[in-house]
Structure 1
Amino acid sequence: MSSRRDFLQKISASAFSLPFLSWASCTDNKSSQYQTQEGPVLRVAIMGLGSYGNRVAEAMQSCKRAKVAGVISGTPSKIKDWQSRYNIPDKNCYNYENFDRIKDNTDIDAVYVITPNALHHDQVIRVAKAGKHAICEKPMAINAKEGQEMVDACNNANVKLLVGYRMHFEPKTLEIIRMRKEGELGKIMFFQGLSGFRIGDPNQWRLNKQLSGGGAMMDIGIYSINGARYMVGEEPVWVTAQETKTNLDKFKEGVDETIQFQLGFPSGAVASCLSTYNMNFLDRFYLNGQEGFAELQPATGYGPIQGRTNKGELTQPHMTHQTVQMDEMAAIILDGKQPIVAVDGAEGVKDLKIIDAIYLAVQTGKKIDVKL
């Protein structure tokens, strides 16, 4: 988490100087695109060089359709390290104050925003105004209103906005979705999603409401929300929720420790889920139908995902999630490919509307209607 703290300390400091040259010799993106046998390569600048940014970049080394082409960071030493590791030229390096200049850089097609939740809104809108496609980590914003503003900004700029839903491309997950779609599980009745771990450093940004927008729900909890939707195959129409907080020093006002929540779907199916920062070994999805069941445990970790159904063990091979995600997102952006499960900004806004409803249900103790 020290890398995150470094980032947060640096983001408010004055901009450091980096050599920047616009590619005046390049007249259009297509002329400078790398080509492979599979097609053009999506050239990505990573914004936020913390632990997950590093994981994404390492995974992209195995991509066929995506390449790390630039960096955006508030820490000069990190930029120098990434330059040496990924052969990134000075002209493709930016800080948080000057990255709007990316507009003139035809060597970069998209920016992957991997920063604290509360920063996503402004940063994605700036990326859109610079004419670059945006990929944003989840949750896409701290509420549905901000998320919709991000979608609108990208639509107005005629650029794509995708959200880092890596599980939407995971083979065992997709096999369960296939089975459900083809009726092999029968009428879906129930989903359970358990998402949680014991969080450490109390001073990290994830426990700072101004940066995270909440607590466990704005981090690990979104997996059960999103998972309920793609596993059941419907959109919820109501939500109820209850909060438990045992450590008021660590989990201050507006920072949730544990929330249990329930979702109701038009068909009558229901979901019962748990989001927590105070329990380990919680990463399980269970889907029940009248003709069968499916279970994933672990369900959303970095892998390998393990799963079984009433027909036996799931045996689809493990592939590094972020490698698959970035190759698939390159195909979405460059080829117009339609994914099996949506990963666009509209998908992200739906999750945010549910999160808004969960927090409202906690505050009021009432069943909240949801309209997606």
Structure 2
Amino acid sequence: MFTRRDFLQNLTMGVGFTAVAQSLISPAAASPVLSNTKPAQKLRVAIMGLGSYGTRVAEAMEKCELAELTGIITGTPAKAEAWKKKYNIPDKNIYNYNTVSQIKNNSDIDVVYVITPNSLHHKHVIQVANAGKHVICEKPVADNAKQAREMIAACNKAGVKFYVGYRLHFEPHTRELIRMREAGEFGKVMFMENGSGFKIGDPTQWRLKQELAGGGALMDVGIYCINGARYGTGEEPTWVTAQEVKTDPVKFKEVDETMTFQLGFPSGAIANCSTTYNFNGLGGLRLIGSSGFAELDPAFGYGPIKGVTHKGPMNQPIVTHQTAQMDGLADCILNNKPDPNMTGVEGLKDMLVIDAIYESVRQGGKKIMIGKV
């Protein structure tokens, strides 16, 4: 049996992970699993919010097979001009935040990817839905569960699809972990330990402002721990206890700095999670079952994701996450494939946990029951 100790020893001897594309990959392991028949036309995407992550998505889409960038929405004229030239976007497909409703009459745009600051997601998703376009919203989907419910309702009323940018749901190592769990290869999942964080820089950035960020490390990167615990166990948590540590009350005056929390699941499984804006090196996932284990480290960053299980190294393909996500979602929309647990409801489930975590902190770490969808 290949143990965790074996894994660590191999690392110290210089045995790294090699991304080997397998000739036969199960549906849960491929990234993405595209339909055999390609649609006559690619999914036409407009990006709303041209910041650093919007730029990353746009660059990744240049490699997509099923999706293409055809429009932009920005409040910065200089960015509009630069993107127009770089991506050959016609003037009629360029909008600002006051003209979003006009997208309704633009047949060059099928879906809008909302990548604005967190606390603007609620407003912008509803605007896009009212314009009759499908929506992809970057995580966290909203500031709280109430907002998430309103966004889902707006998209349902408009008859448009609503996805959340959980890029890891199309990442091969993550999909393989889910496949193994669903196949019972870990036995009964007993325990999970997840961490996600980094040392944040510029103290004036929007992520440290409550009005725009909605919260701190928990909202921004702690959500990966929540989502990872959920797809690692295949269950929805029923309770949480949480603690907050703040070492710099000036820099983190408006948002949380470091949070630890514990999740309880119906089967008896528990997850111990940590998230921070105060230090680097926190980014792994560990799953322990009655007959096996899995470790991803890093588990939540842009890659390359690396992993090992009781069967040995996870030699899954290395992909550009955003390319895989956009091709995968395009396949779902264009070919009417089942949604890969990335709908607005998936985002709501994480927000229910986040709401309970903040409530537990407010009550001094008290055990809080988590609301249901």
Count how many residue pairs are aligned between Structure 1 and Structure 2: 335
Structure-2 separation of matches of 1:336 and 1:241? 40
Q: State the secondary structure of the residue aligned to 2:274.
A: strand
SS of equivalent to 1:283: coil
Counterpart in 2 of 1:185? 186
After the TM superposition, which residues 154-165 of structure 1 pair with which residues of structure 2 at under 5 Å, given as runs?
154-165=155-166
SS in 2 for 1:127: helix
Q: Which deviations, in whole Å up to 9, do the C-alpha atoms of 1:219-264 show, x marking residues without a partner? A: 01100011100011100000000000000000014x1000100000
Tell me how far 1:334 sits from its aligned partner: 1.9
1:5 maps to none
Cα deviations by residue, 1:154-204 (Å, 9 ceiling, x for unpaired): 000000110000001110111111111111111100000011100001110
The one-letter code sitting in structure 1 at the alignment partner of 2:120 is L
Query: 1:318 & 1:199 partners in 2: Cα distance?
Result: 27
Q: Match for 1:342: what amino acid?
A: N
The Cα of 1:38 is off from its aligned counterpart by 1.1
- Within 5 Å, which residues of 2 pair with 1:173-322? 173-253=174-254, 255-322=255-322
Equivalent residue for 1:149? 150
Q: Give 3-state SS (helix, strand or coil) of 2:284's partner.
A: strand
TM-score (norm 1): 0.89
Q: Distance in 2 between matches of 1:301 and 1:224?
A: 12
2:128 aligned with 1:131, yes or no? no
* CA–CA separation in structure 1 for the residues paired with 2:162 and 2:121: 12
In 2: Cα distance, 1:84 partner to 1:51 partner = 18
Counterpart Cα distance in 2 of 1:103 and 1:338: 26
Q: Partner of 1:32 in structure 2? A: none
Q: Distance in 2 between matches of 1:347 and 1:179?
A: 21
Judge which range, 326-335 or 161-170, deviates more. Answer: 326-335
Q: Aligned partners of 1:246 and 1:76: how far apart in 2?
A: 39
The alignment partner of 1:263 has SS state of strand
Quote how far apart the aligned CAs of 1:109 are: 0.4
Whole-Å separation in 1 of the counterparts to 2:140 and 2:200: 18
SS at match of 2:283: strand
User: Structure 1 stretches (4+) deviating beyond 6 angstroms?
Assistant: none
Distance in 2 (alpha carbons) for counterparts of 1:48 and 1:177: 32
- 2:336 matched to which residue of 1? 336
Alignment gaps of 5+ in structure 2: 1-35
Distance in 1 of aligned mates of 2:92 and 2:155: 25
Alpha-carbon distance in 1 for matches of 2:151, 2:280: 34
> Aligned with 2:169: secondary structure?
helix
3-state SS of 1:220 partner: helix
**Corresponding residue SS for 1:115:** coil
Aligned twin of 2:104: 103
What RMSD in Å do the two structures reach over aligned CA positions?
A: 1.0
Q: Which amino acid aligns with 2:358?
A: Y
Alpha-carbon separation, structure 1, partners of 2:178 and 2:101: 40
SS in 2 for 1:78: helix
Q: For 1:203 and 1:121, how far apart are their aligned partners in 2?
A: 23
1:86 pairs with 2:93: no
Give SS of 1:267's match: coil
User: Counterpart of 2:118 in structure 1: which amino acid?
Assistant: N
- What is the distance in 1 between the residues matched to 2:146 and 2:334? 28
Stretches of structure 1 that go unaligned for 5 or more consecutive residues are: 1-35
* Amino acid corresponding to residue 80 of structure 2 in structure 1: I
In the alignment, what sits opposite 2:15?
none
Deviation at residue 37 of structure 1 after TM alignment: 6.1
C-alpha distance in 1 between matches for 2:174 and 2:349: 20
How far 1:371 moved relative to its partner?
3.0
Aligned to 2:25: none
In the alignment, the residues of structure 2 paired with residue 259 and residue 37 of structure 1 have an alpha-carbon distance, to the nearest angstrom, of 46
The one-letter code sitting in structure 1 at the alignment partner of 2:355 is: D
Residue 351 of structure 1 and its aligned partner are, at CA, apart by 0.4
